[in-house]
A and B are shown apart, each in its own frame.
Chain A
Amino acid sequence: MVENRPWLTFFSHAILIAGILLIAFPLYVTFVGSTLTLDEIVRVPMPLVPGDHFWENYKQVLTAGTARGAAAPVAQMMANSLVMALVIAFGKIAISIIASFAIVYFRFPLRDFFFWMIFVTLMLPVEVRIIPTFKVVSDLGMVNSYVGLTLPLIASATATFLFRQFFLTIPDELAEAARMDGAGPMRFFWDVVVPLSKTSMAALFVIQFIYGWNQYLWPLLITTDESMYTTVIGIKRMVTGGDALTEWHLVLATAMLALLPPALVVVLMQRWFVKGLVETEK
């Protein structure tokens, strides 16, 4: 701080606290709503202190789902979301790290062409090629399967760039020494490159886990079977239309369950999260 201005410091804290409260308010209302009964929640205005149906509501959605909307248990949906998030995160890291290793540590015909191909995928988000991609996946018989849910989202230009940038900073002397000692490229990859890349991997993992868990449009198209729903899709299916018909207390309990895992990942792995966010955008 340049100078001491007690009033300005006080003002800064006040703004920050107001901002935090405003941002957290929807979360608080969601939590309160998830502990009430349906009768309590549709009373206007709804109470703003938590009720005593926490266990009841959460147990019901986890084991049985809702009565009027989607009837699949949320525990199943969370397992699907977890599989999707983990496969996408690990898959992206795995195929990107070997691709960038090849692009940085080898000279071969078509190298620039491959790099360009990966780069162009940045410009083709799923949202703009929904129907044709869906057709390809359904022609391959991948609808309602984990493969169909994850494989099309696994290519990643950002992860490839990140690893490429990082590999370029690894001193040449390490590769030289490895070669002199008679280590082949894969030995060098496993014994030198992978251990050095650990922090980059952790950072990417956090970002890609959240990306996978929060996917919406793709699972919406590819899962028609309730047993394949992810949590985010499940919530959407529970909102049956019309304020009065929706079982809001159960929807809100499911919303809490949908946002807790990625929020915990962000808060607990904050250091890697910030690193991943800033570096994937370089």
Chain B
Amino acid sequence: MEKRVVFRSAWLPYALVLPQIAVTIVFFFWPAFQAGWYSLQLQDAFGLQTEFVGLRNFAALLADEHYLNSFRITAVFSLSVAVSGIAISLLLATMADRVLRGALAYKTLLIWPYAVAPAVAGVLWAFLFAPSVGIATYALRQYGVDWNWVLRDDQAMLLVVVASTWKQISYNFLFFLAGLQSIPKSLIEAAAIDGAGPTRRFWTIVFPLLSPTTFFLLVVNIVYAFFETFGVIDATTQGGPAGATQILVYKVYHDGVKSADLGGSSAQSVILMAIVIALTVVQFRYIERKVQY
């Protein structure tokens, strides 16, 4: 879509886009280009000498058991966050769409976790489940569960999944609620007249009509779990125990900042960029075509 009526000026449009473009070049394109450049180099431990090594950093990464394991961990983590977040929010949104009384109050009380920083969410849940003083740990112990996420892999993963999902529920909830409210009431009424009960109506009419929203949220949640959960992980497990919750983004940070492995970390950045580009393309192609019935 284009405007029919436009203004004419030889310099004004350039002056107007300049601030945005300048920031974009200095802080986005130049660093991204440098990441690509560093990824082809090898630095010694003191950063004194660099050597051009071609694709050897990538070859080393793909042969590295830790890196491949980090891929698996990221897949498990992001799918768990996306699926549990979507399931819980869909349940809550369906219920909120049904009730008339108190709808606004319910909505208000469900959306605030969106405002909590991932790192703060991590601290809150880390405290609840703290191995020695946590109140949830105490409750679990009463039921005979030995809870210590500092030492046990599966429990550490569970903790970061719970904290990350908790923060994302409000986002999913709002999108599902908007989706539910846009479904024509006449469809539901027609099904009710034909004798379909609430459960039947949900699975045969509501759920299929929500599929565009669900698919959109699946992509958004995976992107969220990939990148924005850095704060959750750094505030709780820091990738531990023994790398059990070290997702890809955390590994880029860990290798680059803590271990000062510039080449390896940059190669990981390049791989991550490829993943983001793929996810963005999926998201936009879908928005153009929309899942239709």
Which A residues contact B (CB, under 8 angstroms)? 1-3, 5, 8-9, 12-13, 15-16, 19-20, 23-27, 29-30, 33, 41-42, 44-46, 48, 94-96, 98-99, 101-108, 111, 114, 117-118, 120-125, 127-133, 135-137, 151-152, 154-155, 160, 168, 172, 175-176, 179, 184-186, 188, 210, 213-217, 220-221, 232, 235-236, 239, 243-244, 248, 251-252, 255, 258-259, 262-263, 265-267, 270, 273-274, 277-278, 281-282
Contact B92 A151 (CB under 8 A): no
Residues of A within 8 A of B100 (CB): 1
Given A131-B257, A235-B120, also A114-B17 (CB < 8 A) = yes
Instruction: Decide if the interface of chain B is mainly helix, strand, loop or mixed.
Output: helix
Q: Does B147 contact A (CB under 8 A)?
A: no
Contact A15 B91 (CB under 8 A): yes
Q: 5 tightest A-B contacts by CB?
A: A214-B117, A102-B16, A132-B31, A262-B115, A216-B231
Give 16 A-B pairs besides A2-B189, A251-B123, A252-B127 with Cβ atoms closer than 8 angstroms: A15-B91, A44-B132, A44-B133, A98-B19, A114-B21, A128-B272, A130-B252, A131-B262, A131-B265, A184-B7, A214-B231, A217-B253, A236-B119, A244-B133, A263-B116, A274-B111
Contact B257 A221 (CB under 8 A): yes
Given A41-B133, A131-B266, A172-B4, also A19-B17 (CB < 8 A) = no
Residues of A within 8 A of B230 (CB): 127, 216-217
Contact B188 A2 (CB under 8 A): yes
Residue of A nearest to B8 (CB): A106
Contact B7 A152 (CB under 8 A): no
Residues of A within 8 A of B228 (CB): 127
Q: Does B24 contact A (CB under 8 A)?
A: yes
Residues of A within 8 A of B256 (CB): 130-131
Residues of B within 8 A of A9 (CB): 98-99
Residue of B nearest to A217 (CB): B230
Residue of B nearest to A215 (CB): B117
| B residues 120-158 touching A (CB-CB < 8 Å) | 120, 123-128, 130-133, 135, 138-139
Residues of A within 8 A of B287 (CB): 282
* Chain A nearest CB, measured from B11 CB (Å): 9
Give Cα distance in the complex from A102 to B150, angstroms.
53
